Amino acid sequence: MHLPGHVAIITGGASGLGEATARRFSAAGASVAILDVNDAAGALLAAELGAHFEHCDVADATSVEHAVDGAQAALGIARVAVCCAGVGDGSKMIGHRGAHRLDIFQKVMAVNVTGTFHVLREVAWRMRDLEAANEDGERGVLVTTSSIAAFDGVDGGVAYSASKGAVAAMTLPLARDLARHGIRAVSIAPGTFETPMVAGMTDEFRGRLDHDTPFPERMGRPDEYAQLAQHIVENPILNGTVLRLDAGLRMRPSEGWK
């Protein structure tokens, strides 16, 4: 399915991977709805791109429903959804101040897992009413964001790895559930990317990650994620799979981890 003339919803669309995807999809001719909790950044980007913005807290089911309804009222039913909204955490199971805080774990799961689920269910329910877009009977494409942390979990990543593992695990059953409706589901598992989520890394840690990356020896650029998201939309045989986007990086424990 090609992007021109179709509606795409992008969560976390005001920054990082989501912003890059909004820019690329808009340039390709899609009608883009940016969903984000950052009203100022979201509205500014939407004005720049000629896109539509809706405030959306993905962890809140009512907020998601209202945002998707608003996007539909403004642009029509979305044929594409890209879920980029997410949060990170580096808490160890046992730290200097005690055991891993339950509220932090719950927040990471609420945004990264339940938030993704909220968006998928709202968008897929509406997609089923669309006419097929091509001879394959395709009605829509769902793209989620997992992480290589789902497979290469390191110290300080219990909550984050658990959340991204869940996103990866839902991909195949999601594709199977939605096959009869002509809706595909694919997850991208990025490695380290230049986004606000990694802004707090020390230069030493960033340097080690770059060194551990086979080629190219650097972090990914957000538009490289967006490029893959566009290819997923356009390649009808991609379905029910998790695609690593990591330049060959395999995460390893921190020095002195035990």
Residue 48 has pLDDT above 70, yes or no: yes
Q: Domains in the chain: how many in total? A: 1
160 noted as active-site residue = yes
Q: Write out the residue range of the structural domain in which residue 85 sits.
A: 7-245
User: Looking at the domain assignment, is residue 235 inside a domain?
Assistant: yes
- CA dihedral 230→223→35→14, nearest 10 degrees, is -170
Strand pairing report for 98-99 and 94-95: antiparallel
The yes-or-no verdict on residue 201 having pLDDT over 90 is no
Domain presence at residue 250: no
Instruction: Report the CATH number at residue 67.
Output: 3.40.50.720
In a domain, 77, yes or no: yes
Q: Are 246 and 189 in contact (CB under 8 A)?
A: yes
Q: Percent of the chain beyond pLDDT 90?
A: 82
Domain for residue 21, yes or no? yes
Residue 48 counted as domain residue: yes
d(CA 34, CA 45): 8
Half-sphere exposure of 200 (CA within 13 A, CB side): 5
Does residue 219 lie in a domain region?
A: yes
- In this predicted structure, the answer to whether residue 103 has a pLDDT above a threshold of 60 is yes
Q: Which of 25, 160, 193, 225 is catalytic?
A: 160
- The secondary structure of residue 85, as a DSSP letter, is -
| Both structure tokens of 72 | 């539909």
DSSP class of 113? I
Would 78 be classed as within a structural domain? yes
120 Cβ partners below 8 Å, 6+ apart? 81, 83, 142, 144, 174, 185
- pLDDT over 70 (residue 200): no
Mean pLDDT of 55-62: 98
Report how far residue 223's alpha carbon sits from residue 114's, in angstroms, rounded to the nearest whole number. Answer: 26
Per-residue pLDDT reduced to its tens digit, 151-183: 998 778 899 999 999 999 999 999 999 999 999
**Residue 252 domain-assigned?**
no
Structure-derived torsion over alpha carbons of residues 8, 223, 243, 164, reported in degrees to the nearest 10: -80
pLDDT band at 211 (very low <50, low <70, confident <90, very high): confident
